[in-house]
Amino acid sequence: QVQVQESGPRLVRPSETLSLTCSVSGGSMNIGGYSYNWIRQHPGKGLEWIANIYFNGNTYYNPSLKSRLSISLDTSKNQFSLKLTSVTAADTAIYYCARYYDTLPGPSYWGRGTLVTVSS
Amino acid sequence: EIVLTQSPATLSLSPGESATLSCRASQSVTSSSLAWFQQKPGQAPRLLIYAAFSRASGIPKRFSGSASGTDLTLTISRLELEDFAVYYCQHYDSSQITFGQGTRVDIK
């Protein structure tokens, strides 16, 4: 059974960089056919896709966040990571990581999410 | 970018009734890219339906999905108390994921 879990600081100062890591278990990241995604949800609001990355290193970013985003993959650790620079209070949200099937239909697997608060 | 529009915004029903939730895509989509999620307060979204029709593991049979053209439908037959929540439709393609704005199913 695939499991994904987010980790990282829960509090980030304004103008600093938010860094999160997603650990994937129950499935190797050394094979293709999947995308690894970050999604966030502002308090009381809907779901917003942030970015994804593939086994081959291809990345896609939400255009509204692209200038501040970086996503990376470490297949040796079965992890992928997100960096969001120059954060403001508007970046306070629950951040989820998720693995999606890409080439074939299949269920996505989501983490439980981690609340990141931007505050001084 | 594909935009998903869910209706209604809120659905007020009683336990035992059936619920029909709609989601319309702004352009034609493949059914394999469509999904439904349920979210309760303080919890992560839970996958109910993927590829428009397929129930995720552990999801009761009272949840069913259908799709036709740009329209996606989630049907919950015989609502149980645990089904009152917010529901999101979702479209996936290789370069982005989009979500509808959500439908809240409230107890009448």
| Cα(A120)–Cα(B34) distance, integer angstroms | 40
**Is B54 within 8 Å of chain A by CB?**
yes
Q: Roughly how many angstroms between the first and final C-alpha of chain B, as a whole number?
A: 36
pLDDT at A105 over 90: no
Q: Roughly how many angstroms between the first and final C-alpha of chain A, as a whole number?
A: 39
Judging contacts by C-beta atoms under 8 Å, the chain B residues touching residue A36 are none
| Cα(A108)–Cα(A52) distance, integer angstroms | 13
Specify the higher pLDDT residue, A28 or A42: A42
Token digits for B88?
Answer: 């999101």
User: Which residue has 């995604």 as its token pair?
Assistant: A37
**Is A49 within 8 Å of chain B by CB?**
yes
Q: For residue B86, what is the nearest residue in chain A, using CA coordinates?
A: A46
Over residues B61-105, the pLDDT tens digits come to 999 999 999 999 999 999 999 999 999 999 999 899 999 999 999
Judging contacts by C-beta atoms under 8 Å, the chain A residues touching residue B44 are 94, 96, 110-113
User: How distant is the alpha carbon of residue B43 from its chain centre?
Assistant: 16
Over residues A45-54, the pLDDT tens digits come to 999 999 999 9
**What are residue B25's DSSP bridge partners?**
B4
Q: How far lies A4's CA from each of A25, A28, A36, A110, in Å?
A: 6, 12, 10, 6
Q: Residue B23's pLDDT is what?
A: 98
| C-alpha distance from A49 to closest chain B C-alpha (Å) | 6
Q: Residue B43's pLDDT is what?
A: 97
**Is A100 within 8 Å of chain B by CB?**
yes
- How many other C-beta atoms can be found within 10 angstroms of the C-beta atom of residue B35? 28
